[in-house]
Amino acid sequence: MTKLKRIGVLTSGGDAPGMNAAIRAVTRAAIYNGLEVYGIRHGYEGMINGWMKQLKSYSVSNIIQRGGTVLKTARSKEFRTPEGRKKAYNQLVKNNIDACVIIGGDGSFAGARIFSEEYDIPFVGIPGTIDNDLFGTDYTIGYDTAINTVVEAVDKIRDTASSHNRLFFVEVMGRNAGFLALRSGIACGAEAILIPEVETHYDKLSEFLESGFHRKKSSGIILVAEGKEAGGAFEIANRVKEEFKEYDVRVTILGHIQRGGSPSAFDRVTASKLGVAAIDALLDDQKSIMIGVANNEVVHVPFNKTIKNNKPINQSMLDIADILTI
């Protein structure tokens, strides 16, 4: 590979708290190593359209504490086509960009992998998603902040649940992965946690409710990962209303508040560590890899592995949840 002189940095897919901290770290680590940095706005869509601007050290001042992404993000249908990727390549060449750091999830990394196969421009990924569902890394940027957001919201909902003797179904994000629901459910003391990885979740919930839960407690919180095969919080709550008429059931969908807010200290430090490591990897001629964290150490995971492999749920966490919800 020719010597790096200029890199691009972009955010893609859903936003996550801590993305700005990662942008800051990538920018300053690159400048520290004598590289020029160009911010690519609106993800792959901005790459196709040439929405790029040089970033200086001062350009990323006062953003580490901000949620969202200053570079904006988007999902690009055009980039999924060979013609769209050709346009993106031409823009990178036009702007003399030798390599890119992309902050996002598996969809973003899938696009980067295909692009790198078609064109000789290295891509290194930083995992940024509140779902924490990327194989090869213990934590993704935004996950810790989202957990704290959920816990804060559920603590307030529990006050209302207790005051009115109600059973609240609270839906959190995680259509295909229950990491957010499981960890935040344990943290907020949920009476039951329903996640995609456990197929018999409704049967267990029925057993739980039939076991005389209403005689032991006057209120409760059931945490539900969105889009489960048995339905989201509303559908499951309606089934409970029909089968257990003694319960006063309510539903709350937390929605996009989980993606926003100032990132936690943990997410800021993780983003900073991974941003610096991403530049180190590019300088070491690495490409088509995700920079992750395993056992508190930086690891390099090929895009192929993190895209194709499903991240397993931690069985010990499931066991803890079962033990503590009796």
Rounded Cα distance, 116 and 124, in Å: 10
First to last CA, the chain: 58
Closest CA to 71 of 32, 104, 97: 104
Residues making up the chain, counted from first to last: 326
Neighbouring C-alpha atoms within 13 Å toward the C-beta of 56? 1
CA dist list (Å): 273 to 13, 22, 268: 21, 8, 9
Query: What positions carry a catalytic annotation?
Result: 131
The token pair that represents 317 in the structure block: 């966490």
Q: Are 152 and 261 contacting, i.e. CB atoms less than 8 angstroms apart?
A: no
Q: Quote the strand ranges of 242-326, DSSP E.
A: 249-253, 289-294, 297-302
Which H or E element spans position 117? Answer: helix 106-118
DSSP β-ladder status, 36-40 and 52-55: antiparallel
Amino acid identity for residue 93 in this structure = V
